[in-house]
Structure formats: structure tokens, C-alpha cells
Amino acid sequence: MRRTGRMMPNLTHFAVATALIALPATAFAQTIDVAALRDAALKDELAWDITEGLTTEVGPRLAGTEAEARARAWAVKKLTALGFSNVRDEPFDMKTWVRGAETLEVLAPFPQPLRLTALGNSGATPATGLEGEIVYFTDLAALQAASEGSLKGKIAFVSHAMTRTQDGSQYGAYGAVRRSGPATAAAKGAAGILIRSVGTDYHRNPHAGGTGFPDGVKPIPAAALSIPDAEQLERILKRGQPVKVRLTLTPRQIGTTKSGNVIAEVPGSDPAAGLVVVACHLDSWDLGTGAFDDATGCGIVAAAAKRVMEAGTPRRTIRILWAGAEEVGIFGGKAYFDAHQGEKHALAAESDFGADRVWRVDFKLPDSAKAVSERVASALAPLGIARGRTPAGGGADIAALIASGVAGIDLQQDGTRYFDLHHTPDDTLDKVDPVQLRQNVAAWTAMLAVVANAPEEIGSTK
Amino acid sequence: MRRTGRMMPNLTHFAVATALIALPATAFAQTIDVAALRDAALKDELAWDITEGLTTEVGPRLAGTEAEARARAWAVKKLTALGFSNVRDEPFDMKTWVRGAETLEVLAPFPQPLRLTALGNSGATPATGLEGEIVYFTDLAALQAASEGSLKGKIAFVSHAMTRTQDGSQYGAYGAVRRSGPATAAAKGAAGILIRSVGTDYHRNPHAGGTGFPDGVKPIPAAALSIPDAEQLERILKRGQPVKVRLTLTPRQIGTTKSGNVIAEVPGSDPAAGLVVVACHLDSWDLGTGAFDDATGCGIVAAAAKRVMEAGTPRRTIRILWAGAEEVGIFGGKAYFDAHQGEKHALAAESDFGADRVWRVDFKLPDSAKAVSERVASALAPLGIARGRTPAGGGADIAALIASGVAGIDLQQDGTRYFDLHHTPDDTLDKVDPVQLRQNVAAWTAMLAVVANAPEEIGSTK
């Protein structure tokens, strides 16, 4: 494959020059008017239709549950009706956790209920609740610094204020409290742990999300308070009296169930040119209907693929991957990689950061395909999208592909309000801005039209 | 009292002319610098302190419950500590309703949970829920037009979209669905009723609120869906298939319990001049902590009264009324009127519409006190407050006083976002803007300083 790339280095300039000239399709390049496709996509209705349909006719679809299975059936039917090829559900087994009751009562000094939600993989309290005194930590480092055994019988509360950013980059640092805080507290003997939701809104909506416990550490009840509730608990603690609470969480591990990846294709004219995978995830957290996370992503990639398909057979096969079980451990992405890593992948991209406008494009392409990135960047510029300097890393479901050397393009979405909605009950259809959603479809259509039809070889980045 | 007013018509101009001149206090007029008091109040901290304290140390305080009793105890302690006189809790009996479990599951055609909350005085379903088919009505008129018995065994769903306005005037028209829709549906044989929340936000927070059933009509389960959930149900219905749900609401009428009005005073120098009542309500709906509705109101009126008290003994006694049980039937306002209507009231005013800036002042004063309204309007103008042409009607707790002929002043607050928060879980401290809260205190301080010290008689408006 790399050899083929070396055979046609001069084709890159040729492709730029001919991109807008109507020529008969060849095995190398379907010549299409990228700008016209892009601009037509600014009137797209399909991404909305998919988002509306999935969120209305399925709603919440927690990985491994019957609701996610209904989402897969819905997806197969929808993608088939849209005219895609080779539509199928590729099932895999997973260990599944489901939510139970979840309440928190402050018992003293100021009795009142607070709102929270269990973190994925949280342990359970007795059905009648667990009573304990709160031990407050300002951040994860403070919790980590607590001495062994100092939390015995106590309920840790870790607060921290994530900041709103356009690129969502605070999620890495502040998400750590959710990902590793519970295991840390458990190791120190805590009976339970509460965290301030990893989010930026001020509504009574806690943010769900996964946590984990290493082998040998028994899971403890672990939950996120909504941000107004976390600040309320901080105010109560600041009065200086011991704060006693009753925490009730009754989630369950229900054993092994099925999830699956739904796949559909636009067959290309040149099987040797490698696949272009465009991904999203079909599962959602269970509190909202997963509109922003990630029905819109599925709508965007499918709408773009359909537009490129309708412009004529592309050189490369476009493979749509609506991954299962992303939220709870990227199980779908792993299953896809295990099953398909042996196939030739030219490029992968994923839409999984809401549906606000794309503002930046990042690339990870081999040097031989430098001209492809230039043509993509040129096609995106009229949409207000600048070229970034960060190497593309892919969304979670394609990260293993990218890490293995498959080229990637990240169409970075504006995340300013993403963490207002992320994993909350508020992630519902009404939050989607149809105008920004269409800009996403236009960006993806332009990118996909260029990449799927690029005459250049797109080989490994390694 | 009117006779005294006729004896000093020329004093009105005298009072304007001397308002800024330091003179010894007389039985007629405490001469104070209203502008200086007003401007100092723009740095007020007390209204915030009261709001923060009540919402943190008590939290939700549903009328008639133990939580409301704790709020009264808190209030007596706080108002005493602030140096007010005659601080007391005036208890009264009320019939009390409390919330239970509340869930809604769409069973077919698209199984999913929807979020709702029971309306006050709602009937209960069996603990295992009530299954029924939805019958959709676009508005209250459509429900009213349904034929008798046509809803037998069905669950009515009434949708309607309240519009955001600065003066909140849509609440009258759209609140009718909540107030009378359940009784209408019950009379037609419905097994239950769901309404779209009376509100303007797009969060998964249903808006609580009271409803009622006339004698002879058995209460049915009645609940409000959050606005995103109401729109989701509409989308599901638009697919045209029968929509079956399981509704579970287990509220209870717990019989007669105590509520009470907390009262505090700034004694005036001239008992014959009549009382000035400044009111708010202490109870709240149970989903939030009642910050905007109405802890801020209590903070505003108390902070203003304290500032006027500290400027010197006013002519008129200022009576602070933190009313109980407003939300569930204005029981506190009625109890106050029954107990105190025989006393001479010069004027009443209430703060019960959040804590965003005052933008308009409305008056209902006897002609003999026309100069008082002119001085109040002049003192408020620098705060960006214009004079309205609508007669003041008072908040709910003082409406009976105003209707009986007591003069009133309404300091109208900007309600643009009020119905985003009203009766929802989101009515929490973080929603209060300290800068706008202080503008309220400044407006109330100026109004109260003028009215409590006005040398004019303020007699009946009848």
C-alpha cells in the first residue's frame, strides 16, 4: 500500500487542479464539485431527521440494555432505508451495569434532599440507605493525600469546578475525579463517595459517567451531585458542624448481555484504496435521550456519507460505524478494532462532541497525503473552520485505529456549552441547533468527498 | 383619618421641600435623606445573607410541613437578631398535601421514561401505577370541549406554550390549565391528567404548582411534564399510533397541620398614622430551595426595613410579614387579613416575583396622598424605574388588604426569566444575581423611607 503511494506523488497537484472539472469517473478519482456538495449540505435535513427519530422513537439507550438493542434495530432499519449497503449489526458481549434508586438526604445539621446520580459501575448501598458523615476534599489531590484508613465508615465529598472552554480540554483534568476518585476513596476505606458533577451548567441535573475499581478493590457507592447541590453541600459544610447524610444508591451489575456495532457502507470503486470509516456512537447515558451525545454525531456522519454516495460512486468505500457501548468503556470501538483491524483502512474520523459548529480541523496523515489535508482545509475554510496544529486523535471509537497507524481527521466542534449537557437529563432534542447541525454536515460532506475520492494513496502514519 | 388628611393639604409641598434638610423628628415627619439611603442600599449585603441563610439552613419548605416549621423558627431567630421588635410566629391550621413517588413510563409505541411532578392536591394512583392511553388536547379550551364521559379510563394530556414576557402576564392565561384543567378532566371521567409545565425554560425540570377539585369531584392524579418531556410526548403522539403510559403518583393529604406567619416590626412614632406592611412569603414549593420564590423577597423587604429603621424612628410602624403557606392557597395572607384587618393599615407592598431588577412602579393611593406617589416615583427614577399606569394590586399575601381599601405600591420586577425557575428544582441560590438583588433593596428602601415618613395621611382608597 505504501508502495502504491510512492508511485504517484505527482498526482496531488493534478487532483487539486481537476477537482472542479467534470471528468468521467476513473478507478483513481471520482471528480466531484466539493464546494457545491458542501454548500448544498447547508440545507441538510437528514441529520436532524436521524437525531429526531432516534431520540424520539428510542430515547435513552444505555449500553447493554434492551433499549440499546432497540436502538440497533432502529439503526439497521434506518440505514437500510437510506440506501446504504452491507448494513448489519455486529454483536458483542459486555458486562452491563444498570441504575437503581438514587437519593441523598442531609440528616444534620440542616435536613434536606440533594440531587445526585450514581456513576457507572458504582457499588450499591443497602436499600434503606447508608448513613455516614461527610469528609470534604477540595480536589482529587487532597483525596489522594488522605491517610490510609482515615475515611473508614465516612462518605468522601470531592468538589472541584470545571471551567467552560471551547475545546472541552478541561474534561481531561476534571474528569479524573470521576474516573479515579471512587477507587481512591475505596482504597482508603470510605463507605461511599460523592463528587461535584463534571460539568459547567447550573441546573439540578447531575452528570452521569463511568468510573471503575481495580481488581481487589470492592466497589463503593459513588455518585455525582448536580452543581447547585454540590455548592449547597459546600455551604452547609462551611457552617463548621458535622454533616451527616443518608445515601441510597441501588444500581446493579446484571451480568453479560449483548451490545453491538451497526455498520453500513457506500461501496467504493477501488477496494485497494482502503476504507474511510466515519463513526459516532449509538448508545447513550440513560438520563437524557442522548441527542447531543451522540445522536447528532450519527446523523452528521450518515448525512455526509449519503451526500457523497449520491454524488457518484466514490473511489474508497465509506464505512459508517455507529458504535455500541461507547459510554461505558468504548466496548464497541474495541470490538470493531478486534474484528476489522486486518482490513485496509485509509482514514478514520468520528463525530462525538455535540452538534455545535465545527471551528477547527486537525489532521494526522502520512506525508504522502499532505495534499489531501490541504484540499480538505481549503474546502472547510468557507465554513469558518481554521486548520489546527494538533495531530488528530480521533473520537473514542476510532482511537485504537488511529493509534495503530490509520490516518485521521478531527473536525473539532465548539464545546462551549457541551459540558452543560454532557451525560445529563438535559441532553435532549431541544438542545440541538439545526443551523449549527447543518454546518457540521457541510463540513463532513466536504471532508468526506475529498478523502473518499482522493487519488493519492493514504497509507499508514507510522 | 381622612379628616386629618384634609387638614394638611399644603404639607405635601412642604415635605418635598424639606426632605433633604435635617430637622428634628416630629410626630408628623422624620426628615431623612432618601437619596442617600437608596444609594447606600446598592451595597446591601443583608438581602443576600437572608436568602443564602434560609435556602442553605432550611432549604425546601413546603407549606404545612416540618420543614416550613423549621423555616419559621429560623425566621424568628433571624429577625430578632436583626433588632426588629415584636417578632413572633402567628400560627394557623391548614390542610396539608405532600408529594410521593412520581414517574411516567411510555409503554408503547416507544418505551421510555418521561419526567414530571405531581400538582399540589393531585390525587394518587395505585403504588404500582395507573396504565392508560393518552388523549391529546392542544389547550384548555379543547379539553373543555371534550364530550362528557369521553375520557373515561384515559389520561388527558394538555399542551400549550407559555411565552416569556417581562411582566409575567402570560401566567394568568396559561396557568389556567394547571389550576382548572385537572378538575375539568376529572369531571369528564379521565383517570388522570398530564399538562405541559407552565414555564418558559428547556430543562428536564417540571414546574410544580397547585390545582384544585371542587366539592363532589374526586381528585384524579394530575402532573406537569417538564417542557422537553411534554414536547417529546407530542412528537411521540404525532407518529399517529396509540400511546400507552404507566403513571405513578403517590402524594397524600396528611390532614390538618400548622403553618404560620412570621411578623416583625419597626415601631413608628405615630401609631395613628397607620401601619406599613411589607410582605413576602416564607414557604416554598418542595422541589427547589425557594431562592427566587421567595427567599429573595423576604431578604429584600427585611433589608429595606432595617435600613429605614437605622435611619431613625419612622413616623409609621413598619410591619414585616413573612407569610406562611402562600404557594398552596394563600393561607397565610388570609390568616393575616382575618387577624389584623381591624388595625389601621396605611399601605401594603409585597416582593414575590424573584430578584431581578425593579423596572416599574405602580401605585394605588388615595388622592390625598398623591404627593407621596410623586416623591416615591422621583426617588426611584435614578434606579431605572419608570412609573406605570396600572393600579397596584399587591402580591398574593396582601391582595385582600388592597382589595379592602388599603393603599398599595407594586415594585414590579423584571420577570423575563422568572418562569424559567418558578416552582422548579432549579429555584436555587445560584440563580440570584447579587447586583440586581441590591437594586431591589435600594428601590424598597427608597419607597419605604418615603412612605413610612410621609407627613400626609394615607387613608382608604375606597
Q: Is residue B413 very low, low, confident or very high in pLDDT (cuts 50, 70, 90)?
A: very high
Predicted pLDDT at B172: 87
Predicted pLDDT at A13: 36
A191 pLDDT higher than 50: yes
**Measured between CB atoms, does A61 come within 8 Å of chain B?**
no
3-state SS, one letter per residue, for chain A = CHHHHHHCCCHHHHHHHHCCCCCCCCCCCCCCCHHHHHHHHHHCCHHHHHHHHHHHHCCCCCCCCHHHHHHHHHHHHHHHHCCCEEEEEEEEEEEEEECCCEEEEEEECCCEEECEEECECCCCCCCCCEEEEEEEECCHHHHHHCCCCCCECCEEEECCCCCCCCCCCHHHHHHHHHHHHHHHHHHCCECEEEEECCCCCCCCCCCCCECCCCCCCCCCCEEEECHHHHHHHHHHHHCCCCCEEEEEECCEEEEEEEEEEEEEEECCCCHHHCEEEEEEECCCCCCCCCHHHHHHHHHHHHHHHHHHHHCCCCCCCEEEEEECCCCCCCHHHHHHHHHHCCCCEEEEEECCCCCCCEEEEEEECCHHHHHHHHHHHHHHHHHCCEECCCCCCCCHHHHHHHHCCCEEEEEEECCCCHHHHCCCCCCCHHHCCHHHHHHHHHHHHHHHHHHHHCCCCCCCCC
Worst-scoring range by mean pLDDT, A80-89, B8-17, B45-54? B8-17
Mean pLDDT (whole number) for A161-166: 92
Predicted pLDDT at A15: 38
Which residues of chain B lie closer than 8 angstroms to A115, CB-CB?
425
**Measured between CB atoms, does A49 come within 8 Å of chain B?**
no
Between CA B309 and CA A109 the distance in angstroms is 33
A60 pLDDT higher than 80: yes
Contacts of B315 (CB under 8 A, 6+ apart): B27, B28, B29, B30, B268, B269, B270, B273, B452, B453, B454, B455
Which grid cell sits at A408? 485521521
Predicted pLDDT at B238: 98
B27 pLDDT higher than 60: no
Chain A nearest-CA distance from B415, in A, is 19
Q: Is the dihedral of CA A244, A248, A249, A252 positive or negative?
A: positive
Q: Is residue A79 very low, low, confident or very high in pLDDT (cuts 50, 70, 90)?
A: very high
A262 pLDDT higher than 50: yes
Between CA A70 and CA B75 the distance in angstroms is 54
Find the closest chain A residue to B52 by CA distance.
A235
pLDDT in tens, B87-145: 999 999 999 999 999 999 999 999 999 999 999 999 999 999 999 999 999 999 999 99
Q: Do B58 and A110 touch (CB under 8 A)?
A: yes
Q: Which helix (H) or strand (E) holds B264?
A: strand B252-266
pLDDT in tens, B295-352: 999 999 999 999 999 999 999 999 999 999 999 999 999 999 999 999 999 999 999 9
Between CA A155 and CA A186 the distance in angstroms is 10
**Measured between CB atoms, does B56 come within 8 Å of chain A?**
yes
Q: What is the DSSP letter of B317?
A: P
Q: Is residue A149 very low, low, confident or very high in pLDDT (cuts 50, 70, 90)?
A: confident
Which grid cell sits at A103? 437519593
Contacts of B26 (CB under 8 A, 6+ apart): none
| Residue linked to cell 485496509 | A344
pLDDT in tens, B163-200: 999 999 889 888 999 999 999 999 999 999 999 999 99
Chain B nearest-CA distance from A127, in A, is 16
Q: Do B110 and A57 touch (CB under 8 A)?
A: yes
Q: Do B113 and A429 touch (CB under 8 A)?
A: no
How do A275-281 and A318-323 pair as beta strands?
A: parallel
Residue B49 amino acid letter: D
pLDDT in tens, B56-70: 999 999 999 999 999
- Is B321 strand, coil or helix? strand
3-state SS, one letter per residue, for A122-134 = CCCCCCCCEEEEE
Contact A391, A362 (CB under 8 A): yes
Contact B417, B33 (CB under 8 A): no
Between CA A83 and CA A264 the distance in angstroms is 9
Number of Cβ atoms within 10 Å of the Cβ of B238 = 10
Contact B322, B59 (CB under 8 A): no
Angle at B108 between CA A94 and CA A55, to 5 degrees: 60
Q: Do B58 and A231 touch (CB under 8 A)?
A: no
Q: Which helix (H) or strand (E) holds B120?
A: none
Phi and psi at B410, nearest 5°, equal: -105, 120
Orientation of helix B434-453 relative to helix B46-57, angle to 10°? 120
Chain A nearest-CA distance from B91, in A, is 22
Mean pLDDT (whole number) for B273-292: 98
Between CA B286 and CA B279 the distance in angstroms is 21
B6 pLDDT higher than 50: no
B35 pLDDT higher than 60: yes
Mean pLDDT (whole number) for B416-438: 98
**Measured between CB atoms, does A83 come within 8 Å of chain B?**
no
* Per-window interface: A 282-301 vs B, CB < 8 A: 288-289
pLDDT in tens, B216-259: 999 999 999 999 999 999 999 999 999 999 999 999 999 999 99
Which grid cell sits at A388? 489546527
Mean pLDDT (whole number) for A87-94: 98
Chain B nearest-CA distance from A427, in A, is 9
Q: Is the dihedral of CA A115, A121, A127, A129 positive or negative?
A: negative
pLDDT over 90 percentage in chain A: 91
Contact B108, B244 (CB under 8 A): yes
Which residues of chain B lie closer than 8 angstroms to A112, CB-CB?
58-60, 67, 289
**Which of B52, B56, B58 to probe the A interface (max A CBs under 10 A)?**
B56
Q: Is the dihedral of CA A312, A315, A316, A317 positive or negative?
A: positive
Q: Do A56 and B235 touch (CB under 8 A)?
A: yes
**Measured between CB atoms, does A203 come within 8 Å of chain B?**
yes
Between CA B115 and CA B102 the distance in angstroms is 8
pLDDT in tens, A307-341: 999 999 999 999 999 999 999 999 999 999 999 99
Q: For residues A196, A198, A199 and A205, what is the CA-based torsion angle, rounded to 10 degrees?
A: -60
| Length of chain B in terms of residues written | 462
Nearest Cβ partner for B59 among A56, A60, A110: A110
Task: Please state, rounded to an integer, the average pLDDT across all residues of chain A.
Answer: 93
Find the closest chain B residue to A62 by CA distance.
B112
Nearest Cβ partner for A203 among B56, B113, B205: B205
Spacing of C-alpha B110 from chain mean position: 39
Q: Is residue B149 very low, low, confident or very high in pLDDT (cuts 50, 70, 90)?
A: confident
Mean pLDDT (whole number) for A365-378: 97
Predicted pLDDT at B161: 87
Q: Do A112 and B67 touch (CB under 8 A)?
A: yes
B19 pLDDT higher than 80: no
- Is B263 strand, coil or helix? strand
Between CA A241 and CA B56 the distance in angstroms is 13
Which grid cell sits at B78? 433571624
Q: Is the dihedral of CA B171, B172, B177, B178 positive or negative?
A: positive
Residue B118 bridge partners (DSSP): B223
Predicted pLDDT at A270: 97
Q: Is A118 left (phi over 0), alpha (psi -120 to 50) or beta?
A: beta
Number of Cβ atoms within 10 Å of the Cβ of B270 = 18
Between CA A419 and CA A397 the distance in angstroms is 20
Domains and CATH numbers, chain B: 2-96+256-453 (3.40.630.10), 100-250 (3.50.30.30)
Phi and psi at B371, nearest 5°, equal: -65, -30
Nearest Cβ partner for A203 among B60, B110, B426: B426
Number of Cβ atoms within 10 Å of the Cβ of A23 = 10
Which grid cell sits at A33? 464539485
Burial tier of B267 (Cβ tally within 10 Å: 0-12, 13-18, 19+): middle
**Measured between CB atoms, does A101 come within 8 Å of chain B?**
no
**Which of B204, B226, B289 to probe the A interface (max A CBs under 10 A)?**
B204
Q: Do B425 and A115 touch (CB under 8 A)?
A: yes
Q: Do A57 and B288 touch (CB under 8 A)?
A: no
Among B456, B457, B437, B459, smallest CA distance to B304 is for B437
Residue B247 amino acid letter: L
Angle at B351 between CA B347 and CA B353, to 5 degrees: 140
Contact B451, B278 (CB under 8 A): no
Q: Do A204 and B431 touch (CB under 8 A)?
A: no
Cβ density class A115-129: b for 16+ within 10 Å, e for less: bbbbbbbbbbbeeeb
Q: Do A56 and B236 touch (CB under 8 A)?
A: yes
Between CA A114 and CA A226 the distance in angstroms is 8
Nearest Cβ partner for B228 among A60, A235, A430: A430
Residue B195 amino acid letter: I
**Measured between CB atoms, does B203 come within 8 Å of chain A?**
yes
Residue A167 amino acid letter: D
**Which of A428, A430, A432, A433 to probe the B interface (max B CBs under 10 A)?**
A428
Between CA A110 and CA B65 the distance in angstroms is 15
CA dist list (Å): A274 to A269, A376, B419: 11, 18, 55
Between CA B328 and CA B310 the distance in angstroms is 35
Q: What is the DSSP letter of B37?
A: H
Among A396, A394, A389, A398, smallest CA distance to A410 is for A394
Predicted pLDDT at A19: 42
A8 pLDDT higher than 90: no
Find the closest chain A residue to B232 by CA distance.
A56
Which grid cell sits at A431? 438542545
ipTM rounded to 2 decimals = 0.92
Mean pLDDT (whole number) for B358-387: 98
Predicted pLDDT at B173: 87
Q: Do B110 and A56 touch (CB under 8 A)?
A: yes
A386 pLDDT higher than 90: yes
Find the closest chain A residue to B226 by CA distance.
A426
A2 pLDDT higher than 50: no
Between CA B44 and CA B454 the distance in angstroms is 24
Predicted pLDDT at B23: 38
pLDDT over 70 percentage in chain B: 94
**Which of B115, B203, B417 to probe the A interface (max A CBs under 10 A)?**
B203
Q: Is residue B456 very low, low, confident or very high in pLDDT (cuts 50, 70, 90)?
A: very high
